[in-house]
Structure 1
Amino acid sequence: MDELKKVTGRKSSFGASMKAVFWSFFGIRKRSDYENDSASLNPVHVIIAGLIGVAIFIGVLLLLVRVAVAQ
């Protein structure tokens, strides 16, 4: 239980989690940045940022399909 508190109590901003998730969608990440992120990012923030990223990605795809079909 102490380990769970230690992991979720990491000090990192939600913006840093969004940035890490954004770059992971493209698969472009330095190994040193990945290691820093894995040591400092809050896993709950990463999950929420991932869900937001997926929603934005699906929204953009739907928009592109509607534009393509409308023409």
Structure 2
Amino acid sequence: MKAVLWSFFGVRKSRDHAADATQLNPLHVIVAALIAAALFIGGLIAIVHLVVG
């Protein structure tokens, strides 16, 4: 999950990226990215509803 969250910001050390490439399962990364994206979008929608309504 940490690798996915860092990738949302676009900052990652090349050493950590190389380690992630060898250790992480692509399916787990995809699932974690979908969950993180859904939480991010849900948070944005909640903030908009709070401000507007």
TM-score range, shorter chain: over 0.9
TM-score relative to the length of structure 2? 0.92
RMSD over equivalenced CA pairs, Å: 0.7
1:51 aligns with 2:34: yes
Q: Answer 1 or 2: higher relative contact order, Cα 8 Å, separation at least 6.
A: 2
TM-score, normalised with respect to structure 1: 0.71
> Secondary structure at 2:27's aligned position in 1?
helix
* Structure 2 unmatched ranges of 5 or more: none
- Deviant stretches of 4+, over 3 Å: none
**Equivalents in 2 of 1:40, 1:69: separation in Å?**
44
Query: How many matched pairs?
Result: 53
Percent identity, aligned pairs only, is 55
